[in-house]
Structure 1
Amino acid sequence: MTTAAEVLELARARGVMIATAESCTGGLIVGRLTDVPGSSDAVDRGFVTYSNAAKIEMLGIRPETLEAHGAVSEEIAAEMAKGALARSAAGIAVAVTGIAGPGGSEHKPEGRVCFGIANAWGVRTETVEFGPLGRAQVRAATVDHALELLAESLRA
């Protein structure tokens, strides 16, 4: 598992700052990064956009994308990541939107999280089905996976 300190070192080596756009994690990713002393030279900002209105206002998510795909979708994760990149001094941004639980539906079950990662070369998305692990465990798994995605992209 990649640590926050390793992600920060990779960002420093690439000369880029990191931004996060978080829904289901409520700021836990940027919190993990900024738990590391000295992180201010590699972390620019974190957007906590829990509501759809916040996603639209803070990240520029298109209402028509929300209408067509819903908040928990790779399309929204992509727009969140691109919005965070455009509205920050960061060179890489990770976005997460999902169903931490309890609850969910047949079409969007508990434990589904959509990820987006954006940099100067574009945006990549993926969906992970963590399953009904419980709210805290889904959120923790999401933070760990987001750090892995950041590290992979920074190594590329």
Structure 2
Amino acid sequence: MDINLISRAVAELGECLRVEDNYLATAESCTGGLLASTLTDTPGSSEWFAGSVVAYSNTVKTNLLGVSPTVLEEHGAVSEPVVMAMAQGVLKAMGAHVSVAISGVAGPGGGTPDKPVGTVWMAWAWPSGSRARLYNFSGTRAEIKGQAVMAAVNGLLSVTR
């Protein structure tokens, strides 16, 4: 992860949110709080960052974010329906204006033929809509997590500008 690049992107995101008096919330699985940490490394982030849920287990996805156990069973944690539900759940739970949810396989193990290491689903939500995207990153566990954080921030910039 290029620290200067991500710092500039987060500063721009923060300014977009601050100007509109909007708050951001995150729901992270495979990134384990790295996105929240990256956001809060920015001075003044308390003006636009509401908080984060690190929903590493399916129990947390269900109990805190409202992801249906049936959806988890049918699609798996790394899927579009799950990240869409996570994004909506954290948006509501935090009373935020925009959210992002991330779930994926950071590796080095855990991959399957259908969902190899580097498979990451993200969803962004706001009161009037949402969208999701599938990514296929490569590299080490740390590199995959870093790429996911950058993609999440870029996605947030695209929905807040």
Q: Distance in 2 between the 1:14 and 1:108 partners?
A: 38
Does residue 31 (structure 1) correspond to residue 37 (structure 2)? The answer is yes
Q: Please say if residues 81 and 93 of structure 1, whose CA atoms lie closer than 8 Å, have aligned partners that are also in contact.
A: yes
Return the letter of the residue paired with 1:59: L
TM-superposed CA distance for 1:13, in Å, is 1.9
CA RMSD of aligned residues (A): 0.9
Q: Distance in 2 between the 1:29 and 1:90 partners?
A: 16
TM-superposed CA distance for 1:30, in Å, is 1.1
What SS is found at the alignment partner of 1:126?
strand
Q: Scaled by the length of structure 2, what TM-score is found? A: 0.93
Q: Distance in 2 between the 1:65 and 1:14 partners?
A: 34
> Identity, % of aligned pairs?
42
Gaps of 5+ in 2: none
Aligned structure 1 segments of 4 or more residues deviating by more than 6 angstroms: none
Does residue 57 (structure 1) correspond to residue 82 (structure 2)? The answer is no
Aligned counterpart in structure 2 of residue 17 of structure 1, from 12, 23, 36: 23
Residue-pair matches, total: 154
Does residue 109 (structure 1) correspond to residue 125 (structure 2)? The answer is no
Does residue 71 (structure 1) correspond to residue 77 (structure 2)? The answer is yes
Gaps of 5+ in 1: none
Q: Which residue of 2 aligns with 1:121?
A: 128
What SS is found at the alignment partner of 1:3?
helix
Question: Structure 1, residues 18-47: CA drift from partner, whole Å, max 9, x if none?
Answer: 000000001111111110111101000111
